[in-house]
Structure 1
């Protein structure tokens, strides 16, 4: 029902909105479908309709794959466009009563003090005695030659103490080449002695020490010995669907370092935008860094009619990479090919679109024009140029190429794709995806880089097994790929996708297509199981958490969805299972909420 609350009559109007579902044009009443691109829907009355002030227009939509279960599912970004000049009127969505879903309230966290020190993730070994070391007004670091950067990062992590020689808690740095890359030891007596065999190890030690100093006024004396369970501990941030500022990226990096993650996987491109400057193709950011009414990319995910978006210049990206490197975090860029490439195709149609391709398909996000053609020469020119520039910006030895969710039906009615099948002796169209990805893998190998991809990257069976697979469909996906001989990063949506709602309440934000999970479920995720062969165990390199941002528009929404579940994930990725303790984790987390408050993080409360 649309009500005209303005003082003007409306004629020749179109209703535009964001709604996650697939419309069937044959099942509309009162309106006809003008277009659907992804979740952007434009509707017109099915006969000329003049909407007078105060008049009501009734219509009915039947939408496949739509369930109005929680506030995230409701229509948003609604506006009318009308007249020859496409004037815009914003439309308010009236309060909508969703069916109430009763959920068991999450219990309050354990309010008892921690068993030992309030360090997250739980160290490998902590031995304390009954004596204490009083924390002074300042800290002073001795023997930190070569550790100036790590020392400055450590000081930035302190919420109460500052550097000073008078009235100080003294910290001695001791190099120990018997300790592995990220291992460290901390001895606490009349002063604090931090030992490590590398700058990375000192960085991890300082993070633990900062947590201790932020949490208490007197440290128990004793000994800490620590090293990580998994070599790879990552967080993926989607800045395509909703844009994040460089300042927010740096805050995320700060928190990753504080909780001993070592990888930021930065998702730059998708169907809805291209967010990283490529100097060879300025059209990518000029055309598709912003979306909105009348632009190449229409409004999506409730962003509305006005231009919305942004992009990162190469200098900004390099700045973030350098900032992360100071905290011993590698930054891995992701571009999405061959699927999820609509923004690139909109920006470079002369290069990336086959005008004679009559194939029909619909992606899982309802796009019909988002897959690169592997038989076009322009596709490979595009890949070459983008990879060359990204390799110059991001020094990490990896580059992620997406490779997920290529829909059925692609390339079926492309004459050049059919010829490519015959010329190469391929039997299945999926082999064309493998062909394209193998090209990207070879290109990256020439640049000294390893190809990373979502688990569908192995479809088409063309990649060499030095590719690293991110298994997201479930725990068993990780097991299967690792047992097959691929190196794997476990990122199952059911435990690591932080855009999933905490529970099924209608007022709880987040999507639920995979599941919903509370903090305790996040804490008890276990990447290894008995179905892994010995080879498979060696191939499982680590764990990654992810924030897909379709429904995460603001920084405060980001904070709410990510924290504190990512902190639970830190313990999954770093601590050995036998050292985990849910009750003690809650007690330690209660202390850490004070630090999140200090940073202004709008986390989900459990107090």
Structure 2
């Protein structure tokens, strides 16, 4: 069983700090202060919790342990599920937007000093079974207090859930007969002669001498300096016959790495670094290596919880060390807009921070104080350059037409049609998060944003989201109905296709290719040069590939690292797709029997992802991502016939010292 009742840490600025939000971009995580008026103390206790399959009934007691009454109070909290307003008792339902819930006193009642109030409600769509499902960020406002008051959530014992945890294989050196490299190379031929390189490594100062700095940063114990080709013991040799990411690593007294260019040299040096960092003895020989897939990606959500530039760079270092080549950077969503757009400064001014009385209310436990941050265009250039030096392409995601609540809050005059009375609810419980594809302002907004995004990100791709547009949207929009009639459309979803085709054509003119989640195909308007990221199971990706679209497989059941390792109440993470342990992450294979030969050719690769709704600290992020990211690395690089779960685990044990050295707070093996 698990006792819950912690107050999380948040990135915030105190409401009375005097710091201007116009100039503030980001602040480091600090502990959320408990704001009190006089000697006020409020406690919130869960008195009853009954879970159903996809719903729960919950009862609370709110205790005013102070000498001051609270007049016309309002309770604010974050929790899972869709609250049934008619089920509320003891308090009145005010509103729910996403994870944010507001309740208030009934008919203006006062919560007297030392008084206890009992109330409760039913939550639907989700159950409250895990630590990450519990209410967080609870605070109270009232007419007779100046600032919101943080509540103390009394520890609550969740019902125990029995699980069969993954039993990791014990250490066995029989599986380490070749090298300790992750991902495992394609072809390894070693002899019995020990490899003994000196502490001081002399790096060939040729056209690729700049890689020496990056190589040195990956080494725990060796020093690197540049030297002439004659005296160097690390030499790089061009071989145009090798594919662009392939390399040959000859391990001898003089190490020779052959490749056709910088990518191959970088991967060869990374493999050498892993050999030298290993605590096991290395042997001489030859390694020939190349990736299974050309696309090996990781998606980072920096919207739900902001990440510092320093943390992003640390993640990029790990992606490079394990031979990923793409960082998909999720920058906009319902809960914030994280990217500076000079054409529309309101986007970050109004919605980079959320909190009490902000345009975006407190979400995911962020509490009343302004919370968040954004990336200036200089920040982006810095991160992009850092990634490029490590052979990683950054793909920005600007999520449209759904998941646009932050943009709509920042630019209502441009993006909202007053006459639109459409009634809808998104899967994250928002009723106001979709762009209108029939408004001229929508295209002014998108075109300006895309122009700046394309200038900031030199890579060939821009991701436009296109997922989870809810049913009911645009149905009662006069502008949309007029647009449908003008275009001869019969299905409202064709409007999404119309909008996305406009964006696709715009991107193509700027030399970019459109990526989108699988719903981008809704409306059937995209040209086949679009690339589809298949996330909701595997079938939609298979279907798109068989139809001729290039596809990146990222099914939530196997690649979403915000999924909990198991169903235990104490294991953090969500399980809406499934639990996902290390072995399941490793053994997923993208090549389904239903793929045609053409379909297989259209699979570009795989992507692992971390959505951060319930991941508010870097420590929590590390725990969820590592070591599963290493399983993903091997899955994306190493050929299926070359993979072995037992061998992978043995090599993973040897990676722990490196992860410790890097300060990665991974989940223990």
- Which residue does 1:235 correspond to in 2? 298
Q: Residue 435 of structure 2 contacts residue 442 of structure 2 at CA under 8 Å; is this kept in 1?
A: yes
Question: Given the alignment, which residue of 91, 96, 111 partners 1:31?
Answer: 91
Q: Residue 298 of structure 2 contacts residue 608 of structure 2 at CA under 8 Å; is this kept in 1?
A: yes
How big is the shift at 1:170? 1.8
How big is the shift at 1:160? 1.2
Question: Given the alignment, which residue of 540, 556, 571 partners 1:508?
Answer: 571
Report the Cα distance in structure 1 between the residues aligned to 2:210 and 2:72, rounded to whole angstroms. Answer: 63
Segments of structure 1 that go 5 or more residues without pairing to the other structure are none
Give a deviation string over 1:508-566, Cα, whole Å, max 9, x none: 00010000011011010101122110110010000000000001100000000000001
How big is the shift at 1:35? 1.4
How big is the shift at 1:85? 6.2
Question: In terms of mean alpha carbon deviation, does 187-196 or 439-448 score higher?
Answer: 187-196
Report the Cα distance in structure 1 between the residues aligned to 2:402 and 2:112, rounded to whole angstroms. Answer: 45
- Which residue does 2:268 correspond to in 1? 205
Q: Give matches, 1:68-467, under 5 Å.
A: 68-83=128-143, 87-113=147-173, 114-142=176-204, 144-164=205-225, 170-216=233-279, 218-467=281-530
Question: Given the alignment, which residue of 46, 49, 71 partners 1:11?
Answer: 71
The 3-state SS of whatever aligns with 2:385 is helix
Report the Cα distance in structure 1 between the residues aligned to 2:145 and 2:340, rounded to whole angstroms. Answer: 32
Question: Given the alignment, which residue of 646, 660, 666 partners 1:583?
Answer: 646
The 3-state SS of whatever aligns with 1:134 is coil
Segments of structure 2 that go 5 or more residues without pairing to the other structure are 1-60
- Which residue does 1:490 correspond to in 2? 553
Report the Cα distance in structure 2 between the residues aligned to 1:50 and 1:478, rounded to whole angstroms. Answer: 55
Give a deviation string over 1:76-113, Cα, whole Å, max 9, x none: 00000111665211001111111101112332343123
| TM-score, length of structure 2 as denominator length | 0.89
Report the Cα distance in structure 2 between the residues aligned to 1:240 and 1:31, rounded to whole angstroms. Answer: 32
Report the Cα distance in structure 1 between the residues aligned to 2:171 and 2:489, rounded to whole angstroms. Answer: 62
| TM-score, length of structure 1 as denominator length | 0.98
Question: In terms of mean alpha carbon deviation, does 299-308 or 27-36 score higher?
Answer: 27-36
Report the Cα distance in structure 1 between the residues aligned to 2:280 and 2:471, rounded to whole angstroms. Answer: 61
Question: Given the alignment, which residue of 596, 620, 633 partners 1:557?
Answer: 620
Report the Cα distance in structure 2 between the residues aligned to 1:583 and 1:399, rounded to whole angstroms. Answer: 38
Q: Residue 279 of structure 2 contacts residue 654 of structure 2 at CA under 8 Å; is this kept in 1?
A: no
Report the Cα distance in structure 1 between the residues aligned to 2:287 and 2:196, rounded to whole angstroms. Answer: 18
Q: Residue 501 of structure 1 contacts residue 516 of structure 1 at CA under 8 Å; is this kept in 2?
A: yes
Report the Cα distance in structure 2 between the residues aligned to 1:169 and 1:76, rounded to whole angstroms. Answer: 58
Give a deviation string over 1:137-175, Cα, whole Å, max 9, x none: 121112x41213322111111111112589x99211111
Report the Cα distance in structure 1 between the residues aligned to 2:201 and 2:331, rounded to whole angstroms. Answer: 40
How big is the shift at 1:218? 4.2
Give a deviation string over 1:186-238, Cα, whole Å, max 9, x none: 11122211111110100111111110010047420111000000000000000
Report the Cα distance in structure 1 between the residues aligned to 2:642 and 2:66, rounded to whole angstroms. Answer: 63
Q: Residue 212 of structure 2 contacts residue 226 of structure 2 at CA under 8 Å; is this kept in 1?
A: no
Q: Residue 437 of structure 1 contacts residue 462 of structure 1 at CA under 8 Å; is this kept in 2?
A: yes
Report the Cα distance in structure 1 between the residues aligned to 2:223 and 2:635, rounded to whole angstroms. Answer: 32
The 3-state SS of whatever aligns with 1:423 is helix
Give a deviation string over 1:9-45, Cα, whole Å, max 9, x none: 2221100000111112111111111111111010012
Question: In terms of mean alpha carbon deviation, does 468-477 or 3-12 score higher?
Answer: 3-12
Give a deviation string over 1:466-492, Cα, whole Å, max 9, x none: 000000011222211101111000000
Report the Cα distance in structure 2 between the residues aligned to 1:218 and 1:537, rounded to whole angstroms. Answer: 39
The 3-state SS of whatever aligns with 1:344 is helix
The 3-state SS of whatever aligns with 1:357 is coil
Report the Cα distance in structure 1 between the residues aligned to 2:170 and 2:291, rounded to whole angstroms. Answer: 26
Report the Cα distance in structure 2 between the residues aligned to 1:84 and 1:420, rounded to whole angstroms. Answer: 50
Question: Given the alignment, which residue of 568, 593, 602 partners 1:539?
Answer: 602
Q: Residue 133 of structure 1 contacts residue 191 of structure 1 at CA under 8 Å; is this kept in 2?
A: no
The 3-state SS of whatever aligns with 2:153 is coil
Report the Cα distance in structure 2 between the residues aligned to 1:401 and 1:526, rounded to whole angstroms. Answer: 26
Q: Residue 78 of structure 2 contacts residue 136 of structure 2 at CA under 8 Å; is this kept in 1?
A: yes
How big is the shift at 1:50? 2.3
Q: Residue 559 of structure 2 contacts residue 607 of structure 2 at CA under 8 Å; is this kept in 1?
A: yes
- Which residue does 2:58 correspond to in 1? none
